[in-house]
Amino acid sequence: MSVHYLIEINYLAAAALFILSLRWLNHPRTARRGVIAGVVAMAAAIGGTLLAPEIIGYSWIAVAFVVGTLLGIPLAMVPLTAVPQRTALSHAFGGLAAGLVGVAKYSLWMDQGQLTAFRTGAIALECLLGFLTFTGSLMAAGKLQEIVPTRPITYRNQNLVNLSLLAIAILAGVYLTIHPAYWQAFAAIIVLSLTFGVLLIIPIGGADMPTVISLLNSYAGLSAVAMGFVLQNKLLITAGALDGSSGFILSVIMCRAMNRSFTNVLFGAFGQVQARAQAGEAKTVKSATAQDVADLLTHADRVVIIPGYGMAVAQAQHRVHELYDQLTKRGVDVKFAIHPVAGRMPGHMNVLLAEAEIPYEALVEMDDINPELPQTDVALVVGANDVVNPAARHDKGSPIYGMPIIDADKAKTCVAIKRSMNPGFAGIENELYYADQTLMAFGDAKQVLGDVVKAIAGETVGVH
Amino acid sequence: MSVHYLIEINYLAAAALFILSLRWLNHPRTARRGVIAGVVAMAAAIGGTLLAPEIIGYSWIAVAFVVGTLLGIPLAMVPLTAVPQRTALSHAFGGLAAGLVGVAKYSLWMDQGQLTAFRTGAIALECLLGFLTFTGSLMAAGKLQEIVPTRPITYRNQNLVNLSLLAIAILAGVYLTIHPAYWQAFAAIIVLSLTFGVLLIIPIGGADMPTVISLLNSYAGLSAVAMGFVLQNKLLITAGALDGSSGFILSVIMCRAMNRSFTNVLFGAFGQVQARAQAGEAKTVKSATAQDVADLLTHADRVVIIPGYGMAVAQAQHRVHELYDQLTKRGVDVKFAIHPVAGRMPGHMNVLLAEAEIPYEALVEMDDINPELPQTDVALVVGANDVVNPAARHDKGSPIYGMPIIDADKAKTCVAIKRSMNPGFAGIENELYYADQTLMAFGDAKQVLGDVVKAIAGETVGVH
Amino acid sequence: MENPVTLDLWSMLFVFMLATFVGFQVIQNVSRLLHTPLMSLTNAISAIAVVGSILIAGEQESRFTTILGTVAVAASMTNIVSGFLLTDRMLRMFKERGK
Amino acid sequence: MENPVTLDLWSMLFVFMLATFVGFQVIQNVSRLLHTPLMSLTNAISAIAVVGSILIAGEQESRFTTILGTVAVAASMTNIVSGFLLTDRMLRMFKERGK
Ligand SMILES: NC(=O)c1ccc[n+]([C@@H]2O[C@H](COP(=O)([O-])OP(=O)(O)OC[C@H]3O[C@@H](n4cnc5c(N)ncnc54)[C@H](OP(=O)(O)O)[C@@H]3O)[C@@H](O)[C@H]2O)c1
Ligand SMILES: NC(=O)c1ccc[n+]([C@@H]2O[C@H](COP(=O)([O-])OP(=O)(O)OC[C@H]3O[C@@H](n4cnc5c(N)ncnc54)[C@H](OP(=O)(O)O)[C@@H]3O)[C@@H](O)[C@H]2O)c1
């Protein structure tokens, strides 16, 4: 059996295993099997490639393996609140690799006089996607880590400028396909896509980065697909397409859950103008002490906890777990209501709560929990705001009108933990806080929850 | 743009449309769009192929198109009870086409000295699958149409004989791959697979044909895949794989719903030996008149109708619809409980009831209706037997032990319409008929239901 | 350089592997209500064998193969016509409540 | 006879089309609970770009391309190692009730 056969078999097996790997993520019980399948697939792909007769020296490859591993291990150990920026960084690496391979292939085929129109076009696409993903993801990571200013930076005709840049890059690509040897056009594509990546992200607010990184995920996948076309490699195309569709679907889910369009996220500079008006009539809120909250919770039959971005910021998930334990021990039925965009990236609340050892059966999706809220005694909102704002349901003028929300206002009592009356990401007031059945527990989520847990634990077990 | 490009674009579009076509079958609302996509895809595929420069004369093709259309139209007009045998017949045609193309390619490449090992192997597989599907499906159609005796025909060492035949055919295929020009081996494969197709079906009982035709569906698909490898045509491979997996999944669903294994269906000669014993103690049944049934039904709040094979045989679906109308008009909540293997082919009950204009929302799958049966006032069993036999739940000795059933015995009252106390397909007694809450309405389903409907319509509207 | 036929074998295997995954997923999502129409639709789809048959019947390399090809085209065409018509006929019967 | 490069283009397009269908279907079935691990797993998977990078780094056609290839291998390897490790680390946290 020739080496070529062996390589192709490895690639075929790797492609099938990558698919199975993602399939097994359909349930937490089979998910770790998915990781194993992924690792085996990657090993087969790398092992097969190393057999290729074209390879004449392994030393550089070995060095790169060691460097990559040394960089990779610490990146896998980041705290879970930093996973969004780590993910963005990793897209940057992916884009970079694709871009560099494109440059290398261009230069090789140029020297060998083997630049066909098809090859050149595929390389141009690969480099465009790769390099824009590279700088775009770096910017996104910076915003998420708050190294780069998180507020949208806007100027006149911004969208026009950005789109013109992209158009020029695409024109250069078309030109290059016709005149493959005109390397200046190739260089222009690289510079333009590096610039475009930065400019694309600048006007997008920090809180929109999760949607953007999902989209960049998709671009990273597509640049791998383009590389597959360049190298005529079906495994690259398959794996890239899996990645591309994953990123695309995740960003669609996020946009839907915010009732916003792609265009609005990318070009809307959301969160910049929102005049924090609407104050007007002086409405009153009822505030509650930790002891009040503890009493309410221990005397309830059904409690739904609604975690939001504030819980992640306050790192309050372990306190939430203590509360969950105390309450379930007392026979209270406690569930968590997870809004798709709560937190800093898709599914972020789930990992944070799982880290705090809350069983995943207790984490219920928005659509499944909403019908239960009218029978709920206490809805406990922990650092969430927009995702429980009833204006989304009825106020046609509200910027979040139409966004699906968790019906915290339908519970018999609602307790909201936050530090102030400040609005959340969308910059608008939340009538929920002024409702008759709502109590506000002001303070840092970690602090307040700690006090509540202490109050419950200290209490003599109440008549239940 | 060369013709070749045009053809390839057509094939690519056709493949994508075939996938969408099946995707849209996921809901009755989009299903007809699926048919349109399928038609467009097929037109693109045929149109593309007709452009091929190899084609030097169109007259034969035109003749074949006309003949095929003339044959196809009446085959599409069969009554719905005859759809199973029509489906089997159509698999036979599919298998035949694949087999004939295989023979033609073998003879062409033989003459041109272009028979490589790979090509020969693929052709051998194509012919094996094609021809066994051809005769096997003809036999299945015959059994379903009751032209061929439906009871299993068995003899000593039958499975041994069959498997040896298959083994010889495979060996001949391997030999042929090594010596492609040895046409006697090729002829042997054809004869053996034609024979094997017949012998495979002979020992299988008529009531197992639905599972068998699903499996033959899968073989027909796989022979198209083999043809795709022979002709290096990716569209054939894609469409064949879709068909192959469809047939496979359907037969797995059927086997699971009967709690039997593939091997048992194919080699078990089920339904032959079942000694109709177990009579013993003379148990009594309560029988009811049409008037009794009418009274029961009109005074019920919730009725679940459980149709079975007997309803199909009696062609009673239109009477069922009249009953449904009468009852819903009186405010009774009527649902249908559909067991996956009720009837003569997968999903058969659904088409029959849809034909009778019963809205599909009223057709509920087994797993969804079972939790509702304890709150049901009357479970009306129409010509079903095994699928409501409680022995499947508790009698470890029963041949249907473990088969999932519809819990007709859990309803407050059960009414069973059948002609006699004879057992159903599995040949065993059904304790449901002897239960305290069960009433038997003996007679042909169409007749009995007609009387019940008359009784209800004639009745002055009861106090409800 | 490998010869193109072998090269293509691997593309074919890739296509087969991927199409099988697509098939399994797509079929698993088909509504159980529609399993009978599904069977007649896949009948029509697998009549894609018509593509191969047309080439044989049209190349007219020998009388023998032309006849085989013609019969194969007719058989496939029967499945196409009856498969799509029957599927559509059945699907038209599925009505929503109140329609 | 078509030249093999063009022939192969259509195979590539077929593979891309089918893989995209597979991707959409497979991702739509991923549990919403696991969307964060999904992102890090696809991160690792798309680092399959390592395959192309290894060839460039190993062919050593010129100093320039070797360096580019080596950097690309290192970048991809970082994603592979951190992607799989992080995914596994997160998935280990998901516990069923009573475990
Ligand atoms: N998850 C994603 O991937 C994603 C993507 C794009 C956009 N978004 C957007 O992000 C928002 C997420 O909604 P959300 O309800 O989770 O968050 P939110 O509307 O931004 O509200 C978070 C709330 O947490 C409070 N908070 C902050 N730090 C806190 C602390 N240490 N202790 C207690 N409370 C604290 C804040 O109030 P105080 O300042 O008064 O404490 C704030 O009102 C949505 O508007 C969504 O559209 C999310
Ligand atoms: N659907 C499939 O694709 C498929 C595939 C493989 C196997 N099977 C097998 O087929 C069986 C299907 O179960 P099932 O409960 O639907 O059918 P069944 O168990 O075969 O019972 C059908 C009943 O209908 C009655 N019947 C027949 N003609 C009638 C008429 N004209 N009027 C009234 N009643 C009539 C018969 O009783 P009388 O003679 O007393 O009237 C018989 O008991 C299962 O055992 C299943 O495993 C089905």
D6 shares a domain with D50? no
- The CA distance from D38 to D42, in Å, is 6
Q: What is the pLDDT of residue D99?
A: 61
Which of A230-244, B82-96, B290-304, B388-402 has the least mean pLDDT? B388-402
C19 shares a domain with C8? yes
Q: Which residues contact B393 (CB under 8 A, 6 or more apart)?
A: B405
The interface predicted TM-score (ipTM) is 0.91
> A406 with A333: CB under 8 angstroms?
no
CB proximity under 8 Å: C 57-76 to B: 57-62, 64-66, 68-76
How many helices (H) and strands (E) would you count in chain A? Answer: 17, 6
Q: What is the pLDDT of residue B281?
A: 56
Q: What is the pLDDT of residue B437?
A: 93
Q: What is the pLDDT of residue B464?
A: 41
> B72 with C77: CB under 8 angstroms?
yes
> B373 with B437: CB under 8 angstroms?
no
> B397 with B428: CB under 8 angstroms?
no
Q: Could you tell me the two tokens for A216?
A: 């960049």
- Identity of the residue in D4, D12, D22 whose CB atom sits nearest the CB atom of C21: D22
- The CA distance from A374 to B250, in Å, is 42
CA B88 to centroid of ligand 1, rounded, Å: 60
**Highest mean pLDDT: which of A6-15, A428-437, B138-147, B393-402?**
A6-15
Determine which helix (DSSP H) or strand (DSSP E) holds C63, and give its type and residue range. Answer: helix C63-93
- Identity of the residue in A45, A71, A229 whose CB atom sits nearest the CB atom of D51: A45
The better pLDDT of the pair A210, C1 is held by A210
Is B15 in contact with D2 (Cβ distance < 8 A)?
Answer: no
Most ligand 1 atoms within 8 A of CB, residue of A216, A293, A309 to mutate: A309
Residue range D11-29: mean pLDDT, rounded: 96
Is C47 in contact with B97 (Cβ distance < 8 A)?
Answer: yes
- The range of the structural domain enclosing residue D44 comes to 31-99
Q: Chain D: list its partners (3+ Cβ pairs within 8 Å).
A: A, B, C
Residue range B320-347: mean pLDDT, rounded: 92
Q: Could you tell me the two tokens for A135?
A: 């700088």
**What are the b/e assignments for A231-244, b being 16+ CB within 10 Å?**
bbbbbbbbbbbbbb
Is D19 in contact with A61 (Cβ distance < 8 A)?
Answer: no
Number of Cα atoms under 13 Å in the Cβ half of residue C32: 17
**Contacting residues of A for D37, CB less than 8 Å apart:** 25, 31, 347, 351
pLDDT-derived band at B459, boundaries 50, 70, 90: low
> B372 with B290: CB under 8 angstroms?
no
- Residue span(s) of chain A under CATH 3.40.50.1220 come to 279-456
Residue A363's SS3 state is: strand
CA of D35 vs chain B CAs: smallest distance (Å)? 24
The better pLDDT of the pair B270, B212 is held by B212
**Contacting residues of D for B15, CB less than 8 Å apart:** 14, 17-18
Distances (CA, A) of B91 to A6, A249, C71: 37, 38, 15
Most ligand 2 atoms within 8 A of CB, residue of B204, B212, B341 to mutate: B341
Q: Which residues pair with A441 in a beta bridge?
A: A417
Look up tokens 């990559």; give the residue.
A68
> Which one, of A415, A104, C73, lies nearest residue B63 by Cα?
C73
- The CA distance from B461 to B171, in Å, is 73
Is D14 in contact with B4 (Cβ distance < 8 A)?
Answer: no
Number of Cα atoms under 13 Å in the Cβ half of residue B150: 14
D66 shares a domain with D47? yes
C51 shares a domain with C85? yes
**What are the b/e assignments for D35-51, b being 16+ CB within 10 Å?**
bbbbbbbbbbbbbbbbb
CA A309 to ligand 1: nearest atom: 16
Residue A440's SS3 state is: strand
- Would you say how long chain B is, in residues? 464
Distances (CA, A) of A356 to A343, B180, D9, D35: 15, 66, 50, 17
**CB B319 near ligand 2, within 6 Å:** no
C82 shares a domain with C36? yes
CB atoms within 10 A of CB D61: 17
Give me the DSSP letters along D59-90.
Answer: H--SHHHHHHHHHHHHHHHHHHHHHHHHHHHH
D43 shares a domain with D16? no
Helices (H), A357-414: 366-369, 391-394
Q: Which residues pair with A94 in a beta bridge?
A: none
Most ligand 2 atoms within 8 A of CB, residue of B150, B274, B418, B442 to mutate: B418
Is D21 in contact with B12 (Cβ distance < 8 A)?
Answer: no
> B189 with B127: CB under 8 angstroms?
yes
Cα torsion at B231, B232, B236, B242 (round to 10°)? Answer: 140
Q: Which residues pair with B364 in a beta bridge?
A: B337
Determine which helix (DSSP H) or strand (DSSP E) holds A214, and give its type and residue range. Answer: helix A209-231
Q: Which residues contact B410 (CB under 8 A, 6 or more apart)?
A: B373, B374, B376
End-to-end CA distance of chain D: 63
C96 shares a domain with C67? yes
Tell me the catalytic residues of A.
386
CA A386 to centroid of ligand 1, rounded, Å: 7
C47 shares a domain with C65? yes
Q: What is the pLDDT of residue A281?
A: 56
Q: What is the pLDDT of residue C6?
A: 52
Q: Write out A33-97 in H/E/C secondary structure.
A: HHHHHHHHHHHHHHHHHHCCCCCCCCHHHHHHHHHHHHHHHHHHCCCHHHHHHHHHHHHHHHHHH
Per-residue pLDDT reduced to its tens digit, D62-84: 999 999 999 999 999 999 999 99
- CATH for A279-456 (3.40.50.1220, 3.30.1490.100, 1.10.260.40, 3.30.300.130): 3.40.50.1220
Q: Could you tell me the two tokens for B84?
A: 């199973």
- The CA distance from C1 to C73, in Å, is 38
Q: What is the pLDDT of residue A424?
A: 83
Per-residue pLDDT reduced to its tens digit, B411-434: 999 999 999 998 887 778 899 999
C48 shares a domain with C24? no
The yes-or-no verdict on residue B461 having pLDDT over 50 is no
D23 shares a domain with D36? no
Distances (CA, A) of A63 to A20, A425, B351, D67: 31, 45, 65, 11
C22 shares a domain with C35? no
Per-residue pLDDT of chain A (464 residues; tens, 9 = 90+): 588 899 999 999 999 999 999 999 999 999 999 999 999 999 999 999 999 999 999 999 999 999 999 999 999 999 988 999 999 999 999 999 999 999 999 999 999 999 999 999 999 999 999 999 999 999 999 998 889 888 888 888 888 888 899 999 999 999 999 999 999 999 999 999 999 999 999 888 877 888 888 999 999 999 999 999 999 999 999 999 999 999 999 999 988 888 888 777 777 655 444 444 444 556 788 999 999 999 999 999 999 999 998 998 899 999 999 999 999 999 999 999 999 888 878 899 999 999 999 999 999 999 999 999 999 999 999 999 989 999 999 888 887 888 899 999 999 999 999 999 988 877 788 999 999 999 999 999 999 999 999 999 886 444 44
> A290 with A323: CB under 8 angstroms?
no
The better pLDDT of the pair B110, B397 is held by B110
> D56 with A56: CB under 8 angstroms?
no
Ligand nearest to the CA of A144: 1
**Contacting residues of C for A16, CB less than 8 Å apart:** 17, 21
Q: What is the pLDDT of residue B209?
A: 82
Per-residue pLDDT reduced to its tens digit, B236-274: 999 999 999 999 999 999 888 888 887 777 776 554 444
**CB B419 near ligand 2, within 6 Å:** yes
Cα torsion at B88, B93, B95, B99 (round to 10°)? Answer: 160
Q: What is the value of pTM for the model shown?
A: 0.91
Distances (CA, A) of A197 to A21, A150, A204: 31, 16, 12
Residue range B107-123: mean pLDDT, rounded: 93
D69 shares a domain with D25? no
Helices (H), B317-458: 317-329, 348-355, 366-369, 391-394, 445-458
Helix A59-76 / helix D50-59 crossing angle, nearest 10 deg: 150
The total of structural domains in chain D comes to: 2
